[in-house]
Structure 1
Amino acid sequence: MSPTPPLLTDRKALALHRARAKALFLQAEAVLEVQERLIEVNRTFTAPVVVTAFPDLWQDFRCIPDEDTLALHEGGQDLVIHALTLHWANDPVGQLVQCRRALRPDGLFIGMMFGGQTLNELRAALAEAESQLTGGLSPRVLPMGEIRDLGGLLHRAGFALPVADSFTKTVLYRDAFHLMRDLRAMGEGNALAARLRRPTRRDVFLRAAEIYQGRYADAEGRIPATFEIICLTGWAPHDSQQKPLRPGSAAARLADALNAAETPLRDQKG
């Protein structure tokens, strides 16, 4: 019997962070993104459910919390939305499997989560500052998956027609301390199970803010913070679905047919 892997997330700490959350603009962005994607699907869903920590943002939807075991019943839904909480899952594949099992045949899954480019500036500044001043590194920012890896999770979970794409939002802040306060207001503070349980030396944060400012600030002294949001889409298998072609059997590239350049990711700045 293989050993149980260590837990990534301190769920109690995460719940406390979320209870104090006030700045939910990225959560609201996820709501709008899902709404746009559902319009493109052009299908009426009669049994949708949203996995979310912030149910007030999802009007007219049944909402359930993003617990390790989701409150879902097999074959009970025709639409499952995992709304920008999957990055905190102790077992992301397990979460996807639960969602897939909850779907009726040909039901749709849409999952939003923060991707690997999120807060790359802050992570780099904190790592450099801590390395300089303490000679080591401690868990501070949630490890987030890359789009090329996350798409494979859909296939592992048993979804048909899996697609992973992403977009970015760049938010400007006065300084690193302004950003860190906003992260706490988002409910996205450090809830890692392996985080330090003692206060971080203030000089580490001061040095990180100095590095951040010197490396990334614009002409007006504002610093950018990148948030990459990855969208995972998949369908519960059904005989009516289009079957993928065998590798190498395509007669022409889609980009050639459309006379367009290939742009696999959408990039937005807001």
Structure 2
Amino acid sequence: MTPPAAPKAPPRLFDRDLLVRRRDRAAPHFDEYSFLKDLVSSDLVDRLDDTARTFRAGLELGGHDGGVSEQLKGGAKVAAMTLTDPSPAMVARARERGLDAAVADEENLGFEAASFDLVVSALSLHWVNDLPGALIQVRRVLEPDGLFLGALFGAGTLAELRASLIEAETEIMGGLAPRLSPLPALADMAALMQRAGFALPVVDRESVVVRYDSVFGLLADLKGMGERAAFASGMGQPLPRRVLMRMAELYAQNFSDPDGRVRATFEIVYLSGWAPAPSQPKPLKPGSAKVSLADAVRRQGESDQQA
């Protein structure tokens, strides 16, 4: 009998070393460009405050210089936070802010199973090559009934820039090269949370629109955030200047407001889920309902007629 084939490794889309170098370069001035990270970090803290639980040990995964940990420091919600990021320069900045921080890669978490009862991640997981595997690792380091809260850029992010680049490069070069990272859609993330084994998963999204004098302001912000494309070797190609300038023209033509400023959309996909535990509520088994949906609808109709 032929043995089953080994599962294929996920495609390596991103050069993690290049990502680290870009975060290292962004680190000294990151606070000048961290407005999206700060916004999302605040949203995650608000969502955490909506839970009735308090937590003994939290992990901020891919935390850059520590947006979530900084807001939770000294509060009553989480007794202790540990921040990780693959960039040594970002970790150094986090330590300068008095945070417990260590260099670690989201693709290879070196923590023991059930080390934390809370994991948070703000705008970092869209850079991992194996997102299903990363989510499984997150669940592994959570103790039973531990909570994961995450946020990453979704498929609608930079739709204006994508459209302008595609049109400009097709017009001038007659073809396309990878320019912007592929990003997951809402339905993709819902499926991945279930596949990773989280209980009670919830996935939703919000859009943030930022306005600029020109597309070049957007490009400067992406560089300052450390969010420029970091494709694996052989995938990306240099962007010809004439394509860049044509893209800027198309962007201004198609995505300008009446005052001449241009729009850039960032779609944020929020994730939450719990490590499974016996005490959690379980869905009913199919066919175990005591009242049928048809009976419920009929009774509601009778009630409406009597009112």
- The SS at the match of 2:236 is coil
Q: Aligned equivalents of 2:275 and 2:222: distance in 1?
A: 35
Letter in 2 for 1:196: G
Q: Aligned equivalents of 2:151 and 2:120: distance in 1?
A: 8
Higher relative contact order (CA 8 A, sep 6+): 1
Taking a change above 3 Å as real, the CA distance of residues 4 and 104 of structure 1, as seen in their structure-2 partners, is: closer
Query: Shift in Å at residue 70 of structure 1?
Result: 1.4
Q: CA RMSD in A?
A: 2.0
**In 2, are the aligned partners of 1:77 and 1:103 still within 8 Å (CA)?**
yes
2:210 aligns with one of 171, 187, 210 = 171
Q: Aligned equivalents of 1:165 and 1:53: distance in 2?
A: 21
Q: Which has the larger radius of gyration?
A: 2
Query: Shift in Å at residue 53 of structure 1?
Result: 4.2
Letter in 1 for 2:270: C
| 2:141 match | 102
Asked whether 1:91 is paired with 2:130, we answer: yes
Query: Shift in Å at residue 56 of structure 1?
Result: 3.4
Q: Aligned equivalents of 2:199 and 2:260: distance in 1?
A: 47
After superposition, the C-alpha distances for 1:179-237 in whole angstroms (9 at most, x for unaligned) are 1111111110011115434x321110111111111111000111110001111110011
Taking a change above 3 Å as real, the CA distance of residues 219 and 124 of structure 1, as seen in their structure-2 partners, is: same
Taking a change above 3 Å as real, the CA distance of residues 219 and 143 of structure 1, as seen in their structure-2 partners, is: same
**In 1, are the aligned partners of 2:209 and 2:265 still within 8 Å (CA)?**
yes
Asked whether 1:158 is paired with 2:197, we answer: yes
After superposition, the C-alpha distances for 1:232-254 in whole angstroms (9 at most, x for unaligned) are 1100111211112456958579x
Tell me, which stretches of 5 or more residues in structure 1 are unaligned?
257-270
Give the structure-1-normalised TM-score. 0.88
Moved more, 164-173 or 174-183: 174-183
Taking a change above 3 Å as real, the CA distance of residues 5 and 38 of structure 1, as seen in their structure-2 partners, is: closer
**In 1, are the aligned partners of 2:149 and 2:270 still within 8 Å (CA)?**
yes
Letter in 1 for 2:64: F
Asked whether 1:63 is paired with 2:83, we answer: yes
| 1:9 match | 14
| 1:196 match | 236
Letter in 2 for 1:154: M
1:127 aligns with one of 166, 169, 181 = 166
Q: Aligned equivalents of 1:103 and 1:13: distance in 2?
A: 29
Letter in 1 for 2:246: R
Q: Aligned equivalents of 2:285 and 2:202: distance in 1?
A: 17
Tell me, which stretches of 5 or more residues in structure 2 are unaligned?
1-5, 74-80, 86-104, 301-307
**Deviation above 4 Å: which 4+ runs of structure 1?**
246-253
| 1:264 match | none
Q: Aligned equivalents of 2:9 and 2:135: distance in 1?
A: 19
**In 2, are the aligned partners of 1:116 and 1:144 still within 8 Å (CA)?**
yes
| 2:3 match | none
| 1:118 match | 157
Q: Aligned equivalents of 1:53 and 1:148: distance in 2?
A: 25
Query: Shift in Å at residue 82 of structure 1?
Result: 2.0
**Percent of matched pairs sharing the same residue:** 43
Q: Aligned equivalents of 2:207 and 2:284: distance in 1?
A: 31
| 2:78 match | none
Asked whether 1:25 is paired with 2:35, we answer: yes
| 2:64 match | 54
How many residues are paired up? 253
Letter in 2 for 1:48: G
Q: Aligned equivalents of 2:286 and 2:120: distance in 1?
A: 30
Give the structure-2-normalised TM-score. 0.78
Letter in 2 for 1:204: V
Query: Shift in Å at residue 111 of structure 1?
Result: 1.3
Q: Aligned equivalents of 1:209 and 1:51: distance in 2?
A: 35
Q: Aligned equivalents of 1:135 and 1:161: distance in 2?
A: 47
Query: Shift in Å at residue 175 of structure 1?
Result: 1.1
After superposition, the C-alpha distances for 1:4-45 in whole angstroms (9 at most, x for unaligned) are 343111111111211232211111112101110111002110
